[in-house]
């Protein structure tokens, strides 16, 4: 595995574990450089610096079956109709469904593949490069008290309606909030490691915040104050405090 994935900054990068159920999708990833996720089945957060590929039992004749053996850096994200994504299948029952297309760099094999010894039915897991490189089993990739989940829940408790996976430019926004004067995009990442590609001209007004996972974990109220101030600048109102249990 490349040493570029082993330095301190790289180990802070985010990883989305995705599922490969068939050889056709593996070929698209390995040979053509893209992966797809149906919008209706997408996880709450699709944005990540890398994809890690879990190959299911469909690859039972290969040593990679039921392991995470390959990773690839993400390049850009697009939302497309399935019929445009797979033009050779125009009559597919889901031809008019929307899919996220994630363009990726070259696949690289992990020096130590991560097996699923007891956890076979997998969906999506959002984790970090450090956890991926240290894991001895897929079940070790789940993040306990994930800062993103904490922030999402806190926003709901303050009577806000966070929106997931809004794509601006070529990258997704982790959390989007509507305000009277525009939109607030929030990414739960360290700004120093963030990969950004946003257009300079937008038809709607946007503000963007980077909230580091460590800051969310250590000072969630402070992060909420930053969000509240940004919403005020966009013509919104103060965050509603959650009800106090008696």
Q: Using one digit for the tens of pLDDT, what is the confidence trace for 104-148?
A: 999 999 999 999 987 667 789 999 999 999 999 999 998 888 999
| Exposed / middle / buried, residue 106 (Cβ in 10 Å: 0-12, 13-18, 19+) | exposed
Predicted local confidence at residue 220, as pLDDT? 97
CB contact set of 199 (below 8 Å; sequence gap of 6+): 168, 169
Tokens of 81: 């109709």
Taking the C-alpha atoms of residue 107 and residue 53, their distance in angstroms, rounded to an integer, is 9
Predicted local confidence at residue 243, as pLDDT? 47
Residues of the chain with CATH 2.30.130: 3-141
Residue closest to 68 by CA, chosen among 54, 57, 48, 58: 54
pLDDT < 70 stretches in the chain: 1-11, 119-120, 191-203, 237-246
- 147 close to 219: Cβ distance less than 8 angstroms: no
For 3-141, CATH number out of 3.40.50, 1.20.58, 3.90.550, 2.30.130 equals 2.30.130
Predicted local confidence at residue 120, as pLDDT? 64
Tokens of 140: 């070790």
* φ, ψ for residue 58, nearest 5 deg: -60, -20
Which CATH fold would you assign to the domain 147-233? Endonuclease; Chain A (3.40.960)
> How many residues can be counted in the chain?
246
Taking the C-alpha atoms of residue 155 and residue 226, their distance in angstroms, rounded to an integer, is 12
Predicted local confidence at residue 195, as pLDDT? 59
Predicted local confidence at residue 236, as pLDDT? 75
- 128 close to 66: Cβ distance less than 8 angstroms: no
Q: What is the 3-state secondary structure (H, E, C) of the chain?
A: CCHHHCCHHHHCCEEEEEEECCHHHHHHHHHHCEEEEEHHHCCCCCCCCEEEEEECHHHCCCCCCCEEEEEEEEEEEEEEEHHHHCCCCCCCCCCCCEEEEEEECCCEEEEEEEECCCCCCCCCEEEEHHHHHHCCCHHHHCCCCCHHHHHHHHHHHCCCCCEEEEEECCEEEEEEEEECCEEEEEECCCCCCCCCCCCCCCCCCEEEEECCHHHHHHCHHHHHHHHHHHHHHCCCCCCCCCCCCC
Residues of the chain with CATH 3.40.960: 147-233
Taking the C-alpha atoms of residue 66 and residue 208, their distance in angstroms, rounded to an integer, is 38
Residue closest to 30 by CA, chosen among 84, 104, 133: 104
- pTM of the shown model: 0.88
Predicted local confidence at residue 233, as pLDDT? 93
Predicted local confidence at residue 245, as pLDDT? 43
């Amino acid at each position: 595995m490349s040493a570029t994935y082993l330095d301190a900054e790289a180990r802070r990068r985010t990883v989305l574990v995705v599922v490969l159920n068939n050889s056709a999708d593996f070929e698209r990833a390995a040979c053509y450089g893209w992966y797809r996720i149906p919008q209706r089945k997408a996880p709450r957060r699709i944005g990540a610096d890398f994809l890690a590929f879990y190959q299911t039992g469909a690859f039972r004749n290969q040593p990679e079956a039921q392991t995470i053996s390959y990773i690839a850096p993400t390049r850009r994200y697009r939302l497309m109709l399935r019929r445009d994504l797979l033009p050779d299948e125009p009559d597919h029952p889901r031809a008019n469904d929307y899919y996220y297309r994630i363009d990726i760099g070259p696949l690289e094999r992990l020096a130590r593949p991560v097996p699923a010894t007891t956890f076979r039915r997998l969906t999506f897991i959002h984790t970090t490069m450090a956890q991926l490189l240290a894991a001895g089993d897929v079940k070790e990739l789940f993040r306990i008290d994930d800062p993103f989940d904490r922030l999402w829940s806190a926003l709901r408790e303050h009577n806000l309606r966070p929106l997931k996976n809004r794509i601006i430019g070529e990258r997704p926004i982790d959390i989007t909030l509507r305000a009277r004067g525009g939109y607030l995009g929030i990414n739960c990442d360290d700004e120093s490691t963030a990969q950004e590609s946003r257009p300079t001209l937008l038809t709607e007004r946007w503000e963007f915040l980077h909230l580091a996972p460590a800051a969310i974990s250590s000072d969630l109220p402070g992060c909420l104050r930053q969000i509240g101030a940004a919403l005020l600048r966009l013509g919104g109102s103060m965050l509603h405090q959650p009800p106090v249990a008696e």
